[in-house]
Amino acid sequence: GGQSRPLRCETRFEDGVIPRFCMELFSRIDGLDTSGSCLVETELSYFEIYNEKIRDLLHTSTVEDCRILKVREHPVWGPYVVDLTVIPVRCYDDVASCISKGNALRATAATEMNEKSSRSHAVFTLTLKQTVMELIGGVNQPRLRVSKVNLVDLAGSERASQAPVAADRFREGSNINRSLLTLGKVIIQLAESPRGFVSYRESVLTWLLKDSLGGNSRTAMIATISPSVNCLDETLSTLRYAHQASSIVNQAKINEDPNDKLIRSLRAEIELLKQFVPPDRLKMLASGVEVCPSKVDRGTSPPRGGLDTRTRAVSTDLRGEDVVRAVSGLDRAERRVKECEVELAKERSRWRSVFEERLERTEDYEAKIRELEGELLKERRKVELEMIRMRAKLEEDRRIKDKIAESKQFLLQELKERCDGLQKQMGEYQGIKEHDEQRIDKLIEENQELMHDVELASKMRVAELNEHDSFMEYIQSDSATSGDSGILGKLRLAITNINDKIETMKHHPT
């Protein structure tokens, strides 16, 4: 994205290529003979191609009011911009004023590579109409020549990887690169196969420059490169680009009426034949006197100075009766010229009427086109409103989608946290389960030991009870046999004594 240097016109020393071209053009126009035989009219237009859309830079003074125009293709005149502002200019100051006005409205922005980078291609068109008066049939007839000069300031290609930019700058750079790529593709197609298919319509830039690239024109391209090592790839690409463009061959021809061309060639032939006829014979022809072969000076030879090789060869062979034939041929040529002039006048009259008729039809067509454009504008407004509504709906759907995505993300996060908590609880539960299983195993072992002890204790109790029963039986049998003197009596006496001591201790604790 370089600066728009070719279109600058600040001072005379810092003028770009285009202002210098315009200064030289008007200096040459001022040097022409404009007293009446030659009249030159100059018109200009200035527009830019921004994001593949055409904006008129001379229609208004503010960027917001710049019109977006369309491109159409005429079957004869070729591609053109509909309703483009065309301003007549008379001097370079008028051109500089238009350039300054257009530059103020051009799309520029600051990037990492350039503080004021051009974001569009600019096309500055000069139309020159040269009217030359020529004497045809004794009447001065105007002969019109029209030339069109397209001065194009191309925006530089960009690489997003080298200069990070915002979304708008990235979209602008993408459109610039796409149009330059299409231009390179067209140049390659014209260089390799000029008469084959050329994809002009893939880009607005190449479509508008169709005649300049491969039509009836002379085209010059100025390629600028950078000395920096960081721009080596771009420099090589630009050089290959320019070398490919230099291989295109255009054959420029003068656009003129074929009748005018025929008359000019006949006049040149008459002037050539006049060099072979003596002056007195020319006077006799002009006065209407018939020229006889006997009156022809057989020793007269045509002038040799200023003639080419073919003319000299012809003049060497012209002797005697050949001069008479040349004079009669001259007479026939003059009559033919007069007849052609009369026919040309008739044809011009007929074509003027046809042109006026077609002009009326064109006006009717333009009225219908304006009516259709009005209907199209209404339909476009409806479509724009529908697009706005659809865009609002899409925006609402996008917001809902974003909310759903946020809710989904929140629920997924919460589910993840719960899964992590559940997994942690499962781990704790597994540990507790293992601990409880160990305790249960231990309690089972203790229970088994206790059951074993209980079983032993029960066996010992049974043994003790058996012994007690045996002992009680023994006591009863002893008490039955011995009375109170027996063991039972002694036990009873000992128990009575113990109870007496207890009662005594209750009443006298000291």
| Tens-digit pLDDT profile for residues 196-233 | 888 888 889 999 888 888 877 888 888 888 888 888 88
Burial of 193: CB neighbours in 10 Å, binned 0-12, 13-18, 19+: exposed
Distance CA 298, CA 319 (A): 6
Number of helices followed by number of strands (H, E) in the chain: 11, 10
Distance CA 165, CA 155 (A): 16
Burial of 504: CB neighbours in 10 Å, binned 0-12, 13-18, 19+: exposed
Distance CA 265, CA 296 (A): 27
The pLDDT value given to residue 324: 60
- Between residues 95 and 155, the one the model is more confident about: 95
Distance linking the first and last C-alpha atoms of the chain:
124
Phi, psi of 9 (to 5 degrees): -145, 65
126-136 tens-digit pLDDT: 999 888 877 65
pLDDT band at 313 (very low <50, low <70, confident <90, very high): very low
Phi, psi of 129 (to 5 degrees): -115, 115
| DSSP secondary structure letters along 443-473 | HHHHHHHHHHHHHHHHHHHHHHHHHHHHHHH
The count of other CB atoms within 10 Å of the CB of residue 411 is 10
Mean pLDDT of the chain: 77
323 CB-side CA count, 13 A: 22
Classify the phi-psi angles of 308: left when phi > 0, otherwise alpha if psi is within -120 to 50, otherwise beta.
beta
Distance CA 484, CA 472 (A): 16
Report yes or no: 209 and 81 within 8 Å, Cβ to Cβ.
no
Distance CA 304, CA 276 (A): 10
Report yes or no: 250 and 218 within 8 Å, Cβ to Cβ.
yes
Task: State how far the alpha carbon of 67 is from the alpha carbons of 57, 64, 402, in Å.
Answer: 8, 9, 37
pLDDT band at 169 (very low <50, low <70, confident <90, very high): confident
Q: Tell which residue, 65, 102, 501, 137, has the closest CA to residue 349.
A: 137
Q: Is 59 helix (H, G, I), strand (E, B) or coil?
A: coil
The pLDDT value given to residue 162: 59
The least confident of 21-25, 88-92, 287-291, 441-445 is 287-291
Phi, psi of 143 (to 5 degrees): -120, 120
- Between residues 4 and 473, the one the model is more confident about: 473
170-200 tens-digit pLDDT: 888 888 888 888 888 888 888 887 778 888 8
Read off the pLDDT of each residue in 427-437 and give the average, rounded to a whole number: 88
Share of the chain above pLDDT 70, in %: 76
The pLDDT value given to residue 290: 47
For residue 394, what is the DSSP state? H
The pLDDT value given to residue 126: 93
Q: Tell which residue, 233, 255, 222, has the closest CA to residue 143.
A: 255
Q: Is 224 helix (H, G, I), strand (E, B) or coil?
A: coil
pLDDT band at 122 (very low <50, low <70, confident <90, very high): very high
Report yes or no: 180 and 240 within 8 Å, Cβ to Cβ.
no
